[in-house]
Structure 1
Amino acid sequence: MRADAAQRREAIITHARHLFAERGGDVALEAVAAASGVGIATLYRNFPSRGDLVHAVVQDIVEQIIHAVDQTRSTLNTDPAAAWKDLLSSLTAMELGALTDGLALQAGAVQDLEATPLAQVQQPAVDALNDVLAELKRRGAVREALSALDVIVAVATITRPQVAPIRGAAPGVPDQLAEAYLLWSRGQQA
């Protein structure tokens, strides 16, 4: 793939992710194309269906989660509590609420989210997060019962897309919820 084509593709994924986070997963693909600075034909050349675009967005988020976990591993030995706080901060900044919408769109009428094609895409991130959580548990930095799926669902809930008037009226609430979750996950009172 040519460099300019790869850059356009990345721009589409990045803007789709932000729009999914801001407006929900059913945002018009024309809006994604416009935000990305491409025409709708270019978007469809790169992503023939909404499902293909959602898949690419989820894959991008998975890669970012794995990168954040790798960063956590590099600081885990010196200060496990700070490593956990930094990981949670990184995950919160990723707008995982967009991942929730993507999974919901792909799941459609499926009763079991683990049966969706995206479950396989996200599994490496879940495995990596579970591995680092096991080490954080050994060091007493997080609750013993905490799982990767718990963390992903909590952060996705905290960062769930809200309509602009709600975001404007209470802009600090996601950060407050993230801080309360951080305290809870460590076994402290919020």
Structure 2
Amino acid sequence: MRADAARRRQNIITHAKHVFAQRGGDVALEAVAAASGVGIATLYRNFPSRDDLVRAVVQDMVEQIIQAVDQVRSVVETDPAAAWEDLLSSLTAMELGALTDGLALQAGSAHTLEATPLAQVQQPAVEALNGVLAELKTRGAVRESLTALDVIVAVATITRPQVSPIRGAAPGVPAQLAEAYLLWTRAGREDAGS
């Protein structure tokens, strides 16, 4: 793929994530094309279907999650609490909730998340998160019961798109929820009510 075509494709992915975050996963693809500064035909040349675009956005998020995990690994030994806080902050900034609706549409009749078409795409991120969580548990920084899937679902819930009037009326709520989740996940709090 030529460099300009690769940049255009990445631009569509980046803008799609933001449009999904603002308007939900079932937004018209014309809105994604417009936000990306391309025509709908260009979008469809790169992503023949909504599922292809959602898969590409999920793959991009997986790569970002793995990068975030890699960035905190060096801090886990010296300051595990700071590493966990930094990781959770990075995950929240990724707007994982941007894909909640799109993933639900893709899940279709699947009975578990593991049975969805995107499960294999997400697996490297789940494995990376579980790896760093294991290190954090060893150092007493997070609850023993915490799993990567717990974290991903919680962050996606916190960052799930809200309609503009709700976002405008309470813009600080996602940050407050993220802070409450950070406090809840810390080790030693399991006896205080799970």
For normalisation by structure 2, the TM-score amounts to: 0.95
Cα distance in 2 for residues equivalent to 1:105 and 1:54 = 10
Structure 1 residue 11 corresponds to structure 2 residue 18: no
Please say if residues 15 and 36 of structure 1, whose CA atoms lie closer than 8 Å, have aligned partners that are also in contact.
Answer: yes
What is the aligned-residue identity percentage? 84
For 2:171, the equivalent position in structure 1 comes to 171
Structure 2 distance, partners of 1:92, 1:59, is: 17
Q: Which residue of 2 aligns with 1:130?
A: 130
Quick check: 1:183 aligned with 2:183? yes
* Misfit runs of 4+, over 4 Å: none
CA contact (8 A) 2:130 2:148 kept: yes
Q: Could you tell me how far 1:77 is from its partner in structure 2? A: 1.4
Q: Give the match for residue 153 of structure 1.
A: 153
- Structure 1 distance, partners of 2:119, 2:100, is 12
What are the superposed Cα offsets for residues 124-150 of structure 1, whole Å, 9 maximum, x if unpaired?
100110010000000000001000000
Moved more, 94-103 or 25-34: 94-103
State the TM-score, normalizing by the size of structure 1. 0.97
1:158 maps to amino acid: I
Structure-1 separation of matches of 2:98 and 2:171: 18
Does the 8 Å CA contact 1:96/1:155 hold for their aligned counterparts?
Answer: yes
Aligned ranges 1:1-190 → 2 under 5 Å:
1-187=1-187, 188=189
Say whether the 8 Å CA contact 2:113–2:119 is kept in structure 1: yes
CA distance, structure 2, for counterparts of residue 103 and residue 37 of structure 1: 25
Does the 8 Å CA contact 2:24/2:99 hold for their aligned counterparts? no
Say which SS state the counterpart of residue 122 (structure 1) adopts. helix
Aligned length: 189
| Ranges in structure 1 where 5+ consecutive residues have no aligned partner | none
What are the Cα deviations for residues 2-29 of structure 1, in whole angstroms up to 9, with x where unaligned?
A: 1111111001000100111111100100
CA distance in structure 2 between the aligned counterparts of 1:112 and 1:178, rounded to whole angstroms: 25
Where do 5+ consecutive residues of structure 2 fail to align? none
